[in-house]
Structure 1
Amino acid sequence: MYHVSNFEIYFFYLQKTVDKTTTWKSIPENTTLVTAYLDIGTFSKGYPHRRRSKTFYFQSAKAFKYILNALIVYTNSDLFRNYMLEIRRDLLSVTKVLLIDSMSIPSFQYRKQIQEIFQLHSYPKFYPHTSNPMYSCVTHAKFDFLLNATEENTFKSKYFMWLDVGYFSSKVPLKMFHLSKPPSFNETKIAASQIVSNLTQALELDPNTIFKKKKSIAAAGLLFGERSRVMYFSKLYQRGFRYFLSQNLTNSDQQVIYAIYCDKGNRILKPKVELQYYRAPGVPYYHFLGTKLMKISLLS
């Protein structure tokens, strides 16, 4: 059993005077959102000269001001903790912000091993996915957080959703909304956006190629599932991450997920929960599922 104390968490949970949470309580099949921001400094994104700083994440996080769902936030930044409490001031009774020591997160215990793989002369360089071990650890940590959040289940939710803090970076909504259960959702699966055109053909790719060519099959910025399935999926991810790391293969969370569900990974890891893919008509779209699940509130 994984305990909150392992994260060295301080729980900031405040009561509020202005309340919009009656809408949260009336949402059918309510869903708790889980997100995180870990400050690892400014890093290269895409190319060595293209830099991403904390400003991007603070600006993107403005979207959470408008989301009526219950929200659990993990961060190692006092500034970000205070910022989230401020923008969620009308929704504090369904907001939990946890201040953590990033080096106590399980995924960060593999930082040195990840770094050694990245330093191999033959290992391809993608910025920051295979150049910055701290960034890699951040992407794997989301499953530590998801497991912790589902085990605690602070808001007694049936469903849980991982939502990257930068998910709505391209367009911050300016109306109150909630994120609902996907249409025709299979309760035994985990929902994700499909980002390949030919799923059958994509699953034939081997893990070595997936990791070393930074291939993805599903967008990991938004993942949705029933609580017990999300708990299992988080543990499956951790098991897959450690297995591929033992094979000197690592990258970001999307490559781990792909490698687990490709034909070869499936035979090795035997996942007991499947992905339910949602794909935009025409060209696959990373944010398709998130836009499909947005329901504008009458509070807007």
Structure 2
Amino acid sequence: MRICSRIRDPRVAFFENDQDIAYFKKIPESLPENLTRIEKVSRDELWAFALRDIIAAIFTQPRYPKYYPDTVVPEYSCVMHAKYELVQQVAMENAFRNRYIASLDIGLFRDMSDNGSAFTMHLPSYFDDAKVAYTEVTARLSSLAKKCIFKHCINWLCGCFFLALRSVMHRWVNEYMHATDTFVQRIYMCSDQQVLYAMANGKAKYSVVAIQTYKGDGKHDKWFALCAARATNMILCARNKYDIVTDGKHQSVWHCRRE
């Protein structure tokens, strides 16, 4: 989390309790007044956590495959969905008057030193304002059934970082939330990454917003390709059992555990 002190971009932070707010405030230089906004949120008021019981029922089905934590811990799945909901909130409020918004997992910076020069983040090369950008980690198999994607926790995109023009992000999140609601009613669920894959596969398409994919260049871990392209700014978001964070100018969502 201390890497936050090096990031010089606007951030909106969502927390569940006062203890976590106090912890965050201890990070040196993490809260410049002109770059930081803190909001307290209750999981009981979130769309994502309203799905918790049905997701738990899906995961406890006999012979439903176990991939920890994706198909074992329902709260983990809820957190993955909540980042979209909170990015949507930030996009709608647009407190920092930014054009772009992103979701960013703070774990992408795990190998960076807490000490060092401050930095900002930028759009990746050839970014298309009409699309939402993700890192592609494996080639998409268009013939793969949605049920198979969820039950076997198969990935196409990395959900730890995604970026879009604010208006495009608004539409994209609406499409994502609608698709998630549909899949849980069909008794399928895993994490957001399987929702993304299933949205693109099959005859029934769940999105109008197109996805722009970025692939690794071999110099970085393939999961970090878009982040390595230095694609966004940050807005810290909610802390939960698994911790979420979202960010600002272009905006992001992080998942982090307290050390």
The TM-score normalised by the length of structure 2 is 0.83
From the superposition, tell whether residues 233 and 259 of structure 1 become closer, same or farther in structure 2 (CA, over 3 Å). Answer: same
| Greater shift in the superposed pair: 226-235 or 74-83 | 74-83
Listed as ranges, the gaps of 5+ residues in structure 1 are 1-60, 296-300
The corresponding residue for 1:180 is 122
CA contact (8 A) 2:10 2:35 kept: yes
- Alpha-carbon deviation of 1:175? 2.2
Selected match of 1:269 from 192, 205, 209? 205
The corresponding residue for 2:43 is 102
Give the 3-state SS of the residue equivalent to 1:214 in structure 2.
coil
Residues 71-220 of structure 1 mapped to structure 2, 5 A cutoff = 71-87=11-27, 88-89=29-30, 91-172=32-113, 174-196=116-138, 198-199=139-140, 202-220=141-159
| Greater shift in the superposed pair: 73-82 or 98-107 | 73-82
Amino acid in structure 1 at the alignment position of 2:226: L
Give the 3-state SS of the residue equivalent to 2:13 in structure 1.
strand
Listed as ranges, the gaps of 5+ residues in structure 2 are 233-259
- Alpha-carbon deviation of 1:90? 5.4
The TM-score normalised by the length of structure 1 is 0.72
The corresponding residue for 1:249 is 188
- Alpha-carbon deviation of 1:70? 0.8
- In 2, the alpha carbon distance for the partners of 1:116 and 1:177 equals 44
CA contact (8 A) 2:217 2:225 kept: no
Identity %, equivalent residues: 25
Amino acid in structure 1 at the alignment position of 2:189: T
- Alpha-carbon deviation of 1:75? 1.9
- CA shift digits 1:121-152 (9 cap, x unpaired): 12111111111111111111011101111000
- In 1, the alpha carbon distance for the partners of 2:179 and 2:45 equals 20
The corresponding residue for 1:279 is 215
More helix by share: 1
CA contact (8 A) 2:48 2:85 kept: yes
From the superposition, tell whether residues 109 and 90 of structure 1 become closer, same or farther in structure 2 (CA, over 3 Å). Answer: closer
Larger radius of gyration: 1
Residues 58-73 of structure 1 mapped to structure 2, 5 A cutoff = 61-73=1-13
The corresponding residue for 1:46 is none
Question: How many residues are matched?
Answer: 229
The corresponding residue for 2:167 is 228
Amino acid in structure 2 at the alignment position of 1:276: Q
- In 2, the alpha carbon distance for the partners of 1:234 and 1:166 equals 22
- In 1, the alpha carbon distance for the partners of 2:127 and 2:144 equals 27
